[in-house]
Structure 1
Amino acid sequence: MSAKAPIRLVTVNTAPERAKRLIGRVVEDLRDRYTIVHAANVEKIEDVRPTLEKEQPNLLFTASMWTPDQARDIVAIANDTVPGIKTFSLPFGLQVEKGPDAVVAYIEDHLPDLLEA
């Protein structure tokens, strides 16, 4: 993805305020390389498809509260709803085990590879 073109991000996180704060940190830290717009957060799996249909993002994150099976289901919905969407699933339990700084670091370590792929 071009650093110039805005990246429309939808997060799937049951704690929307935490998602907003953490993504805000990532957006700020990576702003010299990417323009990331946090278009929406979805709190329930059943709301993923309608939100993606409305927002038409090119990037989706699943938060670390989702089990690997739930994250796979969310990613499958995303791939079915928005062809070509890039998806990123945080490891299950990362927020609880290591805290918000670890989540931000994990995203910042892995996101460039995903976006450049």
Structure 2
Amino acid sequence: MTTLANKPIKLVTVNTAPERAKRLIGRVVEDVKDKYTIIHAANVEKIEDVRPTLEKEHPDLLFTASMWTAEQAEEIVAIAKDTIPGIKTFSLPHGLQVEKGPDAVVEYIEQHLPGLLEA
């Protein structure tokens, strides 16, 4: 297993609200900058655009947002792992943003990031 903790981490998000993705990931990047260097390389709004974006960006990490159902998130993750073997993926629980708001999303990502990146 390779750790991503000591190098810049290239992230692609899959979110139908790109401005919200940029804003929330921007908060995470700022909050964890003393420990990790995360570069938000791209956001993908449609499942069919995941593979071409990954082929172009070659990220280390892919996040699926909470608007995707568990099945959709699984499909996105499968595409990611097929496109970039070894990519680390993280899916936010369906409905988190709607039910608990953006602060809960940022907190959830930050709670799970160390385990994900240092695995």
- Structure 1 and Structure 2 fold alike (TM over 0.5): yes
With normalisation by structure 1, the TM-score equals 0.98
Post-superposition offset of 1:41: 0.1
Moved over 4 A (4+): none
Distance 2:62 2:5 in 1: 17
Structure 2 gaps of 5+ residues are: none
1:7 Cα deviation from its structure 2 partner: 0.2
| Sequence identity (%) | 82
RMSD over aligned CA atoms reads 0.7
The alpha-carbon deviation at position 2 of structure 1 amounts to: 4.0
2:85 corresponds to which residue?
83
Q: 2:64 aligns with which of 47, 62, 65?
A: 62
Partner of 1:19: 21
Query: After superposition, where does 1:33-52 map in structure 2 within 5 Å?
Result: 33-52=35-54
Aligned partners of 2:28 and 2:110 also within 8 Å: yes
Structure 1 equivalent of residue 74 of structure 2: 72
Question: Of 101, 104, 107, which residue of structure 2 is paired with 1:102?
Answer: 104
Structure 1, unmatched stretches of 5+, are none
